[in-house]
Each structure stands twice: as structure tokens, then as C-alpha cells.
Amino acid sequence: MKNTFIIALLVISTTLPAQIERPKWDFGGGVRLNYMGLNGGFSGYRNSDGQTFDLNYEDIGMNTSSPSFAVALGGRYKKWNLEFAGSRGSYNGSFITPADMVRDEMEIDSGSAVNGTIDMGMYVLFTNFALIQKKHDLGVGIGFMFLNMATNYTTYDVNNEEMKLGGDLWFPMPVLAINGRLKFGKFRINGSAGGAIFKGEMDDIDYDVKYYTIDVSVAYDFLETARLTYSADIGYRNLYMDLKMDNDTGWYKELDKYRGPYATLRIKFSSKEMWKYVKRKDRNKENNS
């Protein structure tokens, strides 16, 4: 689906004979409500005795859905965009361990009652360059993201004493993305895909973290004034986070899959001055004529 969308953007954009005039700059922001479901699972291995576990969220009742919010602020100057965005979501559940489980060098016996919470936050500073900026757009971007992953599992040992497992981790990650827009009057079809990666050591633990998303949405400019544009969109997001932790005691893996719809409200303020991209050779022709 992503490849088809990108090919369509290229075909339509290259058939347009002229650049579209638009405001020289604009800036604005938006708020988004997500309602995403969690799926995936986690597994682990302890080197000392070969103890392993492999649990699926669906099998243990952790495949829940939860609302989350995101905010974004940004602006554009000619072909360049700069944007800051942040979001956070939390997923709760309780389950009975179907097998012995090892986490943080502690063993949870099969049949134990566990309360679990998974939190994920993303904070991104991102710049985008428009490869094609006509009626329909295509751009590529690069940025930097702080990914926050927090897990908190609580259970009780044989002495009925509370055991807390998990942690709060921050990963600095470079981000690459591609995005496109098909515009039809006040309607737009938007698509984007991106990913980030972190490989490194923190607190004597080797981490291998991968994060990637695919978004598709439909937007509508429901109110326009001389310099302000108000728009709303609805879309669907697929988000994947793959984590592996490895040290001398063993390893732990977690795969989180988030999927679900979202709705966004945006406001944009634009310059009075208009602008359109003109190739250097065409500018030289105009100057010499």
C-alpha cells in the first residue's frame, strides 16, 4: 500500500506542468487523539540455568486498547519544514502467568497474578524537505527522537511480599521518513512512513531498539480566512517497536504493535507574500529576457 501511494504521487506530480503558488511561509500546530490497540509479546532467557519464557499479549489479556494524545508545532519556509511533536500512551492489564517468567534476574512462578502497565512516549524534532511541491507534494525528512519506554509489573512472592519489575528507559534515536500528499480542492489524502533505530550500551546492558510507523489519513480544510486555515483529518496508524536487551545474565525481548484510528485538528497561519519554486535555469531565462 505504501509503495502504491508513493508511485501514485510521483506519476501525478511529474505530469503537472507548473509549480503551484503558495504562501512563502506558514506556521501552526495541532492536537491529535489516538485510540490504538496493543498486541505483540515478550520473551526472555536466563544464562545461569537456561530458564526461558515466551508470552503473547493476547494470550495473557494484555492486548488492550487505550486513548492517547499528541501535540505538534511547526512551520514551513519555502521548501523546508521544521516541526516538534510529542505523544504518550499507557496500556494496563492483569494476567496469570501461564509459565515461569524471568525478568530483572527474578523469577515469577507459573500461576502468579501480575498487574502490568506499558507506557510509551515519543518526542521528535523533525525537518522535512519538499522534493516535489506542486499541486501534490512529496518530501523526505530527517530528525531526532527521544523514545521513552516504561514497563511496570507487580506481583507477590511466596511470602506475600510485593515484587516490582520493569524500568523506565530513554533512547535517543535518529529518524528518517518519507511523506506525501494528494490534494483535491479542500480535501487531502496524506501518507507517511518512517523509522528510527538505537544500538548501544546503557548501564552494562546492550540495547537494540527499532521503531517504525505507517500513517494514512484524509484531511479537510473546513474554514479558511485571509491568512488562517482550520483543518481536520481522520486516519489510521500502524506503529511497531522492537526491543532487545542483552547482558551477562541473559536476554529480554519485547515486540509492541500499536494499531488504530486517530483524529486531528490543526490551525495554520500563512504569510501574505506568495511564492513558488522556479528552477535555476528558468530563473536565468527570465532574468535574461
Give dist(CA 270, CA 24) in Å, integer. 8
Do 92 and 134 touch, CB atoms closer than 8 A? Answer: no
Please state the pTM of the whole predicted model: 0.79
Element (H, E) at 137: strand 137-156
What is the per-residue pLDDT for 42? Answer: 85
Query: Collapsing DSSP states into helix, strand and coil, what is residue 6?
Result: helix
What is the per-residue pLDDT for 11? Answer: 42
> The domain containing residue 240 runs over which residues?
2-15+24-288
Q: Can you give the CATH number for the domain in which 44 is found?
A: 2.40.128
What is the per-residue pLDDT for 19? Answer: 57
CA 287 to each of CA 22, 24, 135, 175, 280: distance values in angstroms, whole numbers, following the listed order: 22, 21, 26, 40, 11
Angle among Cα 66, 174, 263 to the nearest 5 degrees reads 30
What is the per-residue pLDDT for 179? Answer: 94
List the pLDDT tens digit at each of the 289 positions of the chain: 444 444 444 444 443 444 578 889 999 999 999 999 989 988 888 888 888 888 888 877 778 888 999 999 999 998 889 999 999 888 777 777 666 666 655 666 667 777 778 788 899 999 999 888 777 889 999 999 999 988 777 777 666 777 777 778 899 999 999 999 999 999 999 999 999 999 999 988 999 999 999 999 999 999 999 899 999 999 999 999 999 999 988 898 989 999 999 999 999 999 999 888 776 555 555 555 5
DSSP conformation letters of 9-66: HHHHHHT--SPPPEESEEEEEEEEEEEEEEEEEEEEEETTT--EEEEEHHHHT---EE
Do 150 and 118 touch, CB atoms closer than 8 A? Answer: yes
Give dist(CA 118, CA 5) in Å, integer. 33
- Give me the number of domains the chain comprises: 1
Which tens digits make up the pLDDT trace of 108-136? 666 777 777 878 889 999 999 988 877 78
What is the per-residue pLDDT for 13? Answer: 41
What is the per-residue pLDDT for 10? Answer: 43
Do 243 and 254 touch, CB atoms closer than 8 A? Answer: yes
